[in-house]
Structure 1
């Protein structure tokens, strides 16, 4: 069943790509005359929208709450990409699932992590590969913003002043969020300066905030915790007397709750990484995501953070 479903998807995608290559694809939103910028996931869409302002229509391929590591594009996704004026991706392998279907499309593409020095994944099958979650550092997102400005300038030269003004304003907000996060964590004692999560998605945030990172599995493409991973995490939490552990919103927290129980510590709450929430949820924007995670981490580890 799975193979036949995948085969049908490939046939539909091939037909879509052939059609896209043989016709003049519209480059604007059906509801407006603005060029469509299509991002691979919601976090990138929000960052891009802050730079684009009202000059471009920014959309995300994946929806709020989606697990992005193993996402399988649909024929509808490919049609949207074929009609986009610009495709925006993160890079570092997190959205490689889309590359094989968009390589032949005429729309220009921008990789937002270009110019960022990656932190390598430390363990398991992904050891040595770039940790893809560079957006979890607001400092890195300033580089994302610069890459967006350059791409938007090429797409809409008349909007250059708008893009640069929006970028300057957004960078100020990014720096404020970064400052509040680091300041709130500075006073924690050594044993509390450890961030233990389900996925190794916080390497950049941990680096910025001076935290030691530990996780059960390196990336969410392999969500099934094995006994060795769980045992190593329990041992770390016990040895360091870490006051709380956490898990991400897009995966089950069952394994981490097992760690908390065995290590005699608390489950500190849910963190957001790969996806924003719906507009009425806790993290409708990227800045809200960082603020929420900062509050949750600091509350769990024993401090307080500015809003």
Structure 2
């Protein structure tokens, strides 16, 4: 906030007054914006994206301060860290990343930081990408399986216990309670998809980010491109999806919230399929949006997919 005075009317008294005003404003701003951070002596955990932050908060409870490096809606694969990100990370006590080549920027990001980091996907069995230049590399979207998410949670609880041994029992208890919720979400997902006719259990998306979710739910997956990248969809990629949709009679197709759905709209125009809705993968929404938590994300995606494939209007 800037406070200004006309130079033509400035006087000694006014300059003193201005200085007092600025001092009071500085104190007020410090009191309003800095006290919480100054008085909050909890250790700070950073995650690379919002989904991991929400998982971590469920494990941390009130004992740690958890923040995401990337903001809501960010495209995580090719993210470019800012100087502010690096400054924030240098002050953190722990950084959690997904691994599996998801965060292409992360190795360089932490190269000069003296901060421990933990790969929360450690221990999952990765599914390989089957197409294009990424063929044979692990699909990084392992958190899209609620079953895998339970492994993420266990890894997070262990990392927090190492960071803050005094609250280790609380982290273990929080993790077990959260894993119970994850199991219920997985059961709901399987139930929703199992109600679909067998020939409609096909999931067509922009990015190949749903392999783990499709496996859990018993869906056949087809996508335009395997991993979000800067280049646009090729005619060959779009044509392959069009052929798949026509041959299978797929009733609805989808795209993710962090990319343009224009390529998928071309599939809709060329087939009898309709656009079934927006799915969330790499980012949560704002608090008042459709997927403010990871559990909401999985529920939203499962409901959107099942409803659209069943032919109901949304």
Same fold (TM > 0.5):
yes
Q: Which residue of 1 aligns with 2:102?
A: 94
Matched, 1:202 2:210: yes
Deviation digits for residues 226-254 of structure 1 (CA, Å, limit 9, x no counterpart)? 00000000000000000100000001111
Structure 2 residue corresponding to 1:189, chosen from 197, 204, 209: 197
* RMSD, aligned α-carbons: 1.3
Structure 2 residue corresponding to 1:177, chosen from 179, 182, 185: 185
Matched, 1:62 2:31: no
Could you tell me how far 1:101 is from its partner in structure 2? 2.2
Matched, 1:239 2:247: yes
Q: For 2:233 and 2:38, how far apart are their aligned partners in 1?
A: 44
Q: Which structure is larger by alpha-carbon Rg, 1 or 2?
A: 2
Matched, 1:165 2:173: yes
Q: Which residue of 2 aligns with 1:117?
A: 125
CA contact (8 A) 2:251 2:311 kept: no
CA contact (8 A) 1:29 1:35 kept: no
Q: Which residue of 2 aligns with 1:73?
A: 81
Structure 1 residue corresponding to 2:143, chosen from 120, 135, 155: 135
After TM superposition, the structure 1 = structure 2 runs for residues 226-305 of structure 1, keeping only pairs within 5 Å, are: 226-302=234-310
Runs of 4+ in 1 over 3 A off after TM superposition: 28-31
Q: Which residue of 2 aligns with 1:33?
A: 41
SS at structure 1 position matched to 2:269: helix
SS at structure 2 position matched to 1:237: helix
Could you tell me how far 1:125 is from its partner in structure 2? 1.0
Matched, 1:104 2:112: yes
Deviation digits for residues 7-58 of structure 1 (CA, Å, limit 9, x no counterpart)? xxxxxxxxxxxxxxxxxxxxx9545000000000000000000000000000
SS at structure 1 position matched to 2:67: strand
Q: Which residue of 1 aligns with 2:222?
A: 214
Q: For 2:53 and 2:229, how far apart are their aligned partners in 1?
A: 22
Give the number of equivalent residue pairs. Answer: 277
| TM-score normalised according to structure 1 size | 0.88
Q: For 1:253 and 1:192, how far apart are their aligned partners in 2?
A: 22
| TM-score normalised according to structure 2 size | 0.86
Could you tell me how far 1:303 is from its partner in structure 2? 7.4
